[in-house]
Amino acid sequence: MNKKFISVVLAALLIGSLTLTACNQSPVVKASPSSEVTNSLTQQTQLSNTSVRTLSVTGVGKIILVPDLAYINIGVRNEADDVTTALSTNNDLAKQITDALKAKGVDEKDIQTTNFNVYPSQKYDNMGNITSTSFAVENTINIKINKLADLGALLDEAIRAGANNVYGIQFDIKDRQTYLDQARDLAIKDAQARAQAVAEVAGVELIQIQSINVSNFKAFEPYSPYGMGGGGYAKTMEDSAVPVSAGQLQVTFEASLVYEIK
C-alpha cells in the first residue's frame, strides 16, 4: 500500500517538473505597435517640429454721430396729510402731464411710468420729537422724443402741466444696429490694412487669417472732440432752436486679427 502511494507521488512530481520545464522553454513574443499608433506618433512628431509663423494686428473703427433721439425722465412729487389725498393729487398731475404731451404729438406708447414711491414724511422739533406726519408720493415718467426739434417745447409743456422734477436727458440713435455694423466693419478693414502695411515693411507674405476677435468698448457714448482725432462718419441733424445741446455720440469697435505668414 505504501509503495503504491509513493509511486503515485513520484509520478505527480515528475509530471509537474516536466510542465514547469515546458513553460520556461516557451518563447516570449514581443508585441509590436500597430500601424495606427505608429502613424499617430509620426504625425505628432511632424506637428511638433513644424512652427507656424503669425502676425497679430489690431484695428479701430470709430463713427461720430449726431443724436436723433432723446429720452427724458420727469417726475411729479407732492405731499398731503393723508395718503389717499396724496395719491389722488399725484395721479391727477401725472394724467395732466400725459394728456399735455399727447396733445403735442407724443405717442402714448412713448410715455412710460418708470418709478412710483409712497412714503411718510415726518417733521421734528428741536428736541427730536415728531411734530407732524404727512405722506409723499413720487411718480417718474420716461418720455421718448423722436424729434429733437420738439425737445425744448415738450419739456416746457410737461413742467407747465405739473412736472416739478427733471431727472435727466439721454440722447440716442434710432437706427443703432446700422452704425454698430459700420463701426465693426471699419475696425476689421483697418486691421487688414495695418496687417498688409506691416507685412510689406517686414518682407513677409500674408497667407490666411487664423483668428478674429471683435469687441465693442464704446457704444453711443458722448463724444468730445477736444484733444482727440476726428474722422469717422457724421450724421447731420436739421438746425433747430432746441435749448438743450445734443452734442455728439461715438461708436467704437476694435478688431484683432492673427495672420499666418511666410
pLDDT tens string 104-162: 999 999 999 999 999 998 888 888 888 999 999 999 999 999 998 899 999 999 999 99
Q: How many domains does the chain have?
A: 2
CA distance 107 to 117: 25
CA distance 169 to 257: 38
Strand partners, 139: 76, 116
CA distance 86 to 70: 31
The answer to whether residues 61 and 179 belong to one domain is: yes
The answer to whether residues 99 and 229 belong to one domain is: no
The answer to whether residues 73 and 159 belong to one domain is: yes
The answer to whether residues 179 and 199 belong to one domain is: yes
Tens digits of per-residue pLDDT, 9-58?
Answer: 444 444 444 443 444 444 444 445 544 544 544 455 454 456 889 999 99
Residue ranges making up the domain that contains 145: 69-172
Q: Which CATH number belongs to the domain containing residue 135 in this structure?
A: 3.30.70.2970
What's the grid cell of residue 168? 435727466
H helix runs in 141-262, sequence order: 151-160, 176-202
User: Is residue 244 in a domain?
Assistant: yes
Conformation bin of residue 42: beta by default, left when phi > 0, alpha when psi is -120 to 50: alpha
Final residue before a domain boundary, out of 172, 207, 228: 172
Q: Would the pTM count as exceeding 0.95?
A: no
